[in-house]
Structure 1
């Protein structure tokens, strides 16, 4: 892949559309500038997914608009299509994540919803 190419990528548990800024063949990672959110990151402890009895149930924010992240090359795929507005994509990703949690009815889903609602205030998506 080449500099300036649009890609989809995963970072931790989120999925994004971005622009390849620094593809470095000698390294196993490339720098990607984030343009849109496809899937909001999962909340909680990544090492103990689905668990609420952990030392820290972490709130995980989506990467910000134009934020640059080092993404493993194995997590990059070419993207062709329109790039949605970042804020609209974030709202949609949060709504999809929230819908899934509301229908899950578990302690993990409840804790994730609480963390997500806190993030919505940080994102200024809800009062």
Structure 2
């Protein structure tokens, strides 16, 4: 079954998240996909200024809702053959992974600041 055919199960990249969904229709360039599961939670903040907490507009991005229909470019979809886990379970896992990633980055930044404070001392500044 081609990813363009209604009823095809696909993995898609939508905005900054990844999802499993069902193809509803295609216009030849894009697919309309009904979201069934979340694989990667969307990234927060300004994508044009990544990791900048002081940007004028810090975007809050929520995952696409269960059965929400989204248009994606044809090239952002691929057939998916695995099991489709329950949406809530995948949302919980994806959000947890994103929060864990942010916590790791926070701890990394704190360690960098500690190291740079030591380097400053070594420089005599």
Scaled by the length of structure 2, what TM-score is found? 0.80
Task: Give the paired residue count.
Answer: 105
Query: CA separation in 2, counterparts of 1:20 and 1:49?
Result: 31
Query: CA separation in 2, counterparts of 1:49 and 1:6?
Result: 32
> 1:118 aligns to what?
none
Q: Deviations over 1:38-68 (max 9, x none)?
A: 0000000122222122111111000000000
Taking the TM superposition and a 5 Å limit, the aligned residue runs for 1:96-107 are 96-105=97-106, 106=109
Taking the TM superposition and a 5 Å limit, the aligned residue runs for 1:87-102 are 87-102=88-103
Distance apart, 1:37 and its partner CA: 0.2
Q: Which is greater in Rg?
A: 2
Task: Tell me if 1:23 matches 2:26.
Answer: yes
SS in 2 for 1:58: coil
Q: Given the alignment, which residue of 3, 9, 26 partners 2:12?
A: 9
Query: CA separation in 2, counterparts of 1:95 and 1:15?
Result: 15
Taking the TM superposition and a 5 Å limit, the aligned residue runs for 1:35-74 are 35-74=36-75
Which contiguous aligned blocks of 4+ residues in structure 1 show a shift greater than 6 angstroms? none
Unaligned runs of 5+ in 2: 111-125
Scaled by the length of structure 1, what TM-score is found? 0.79
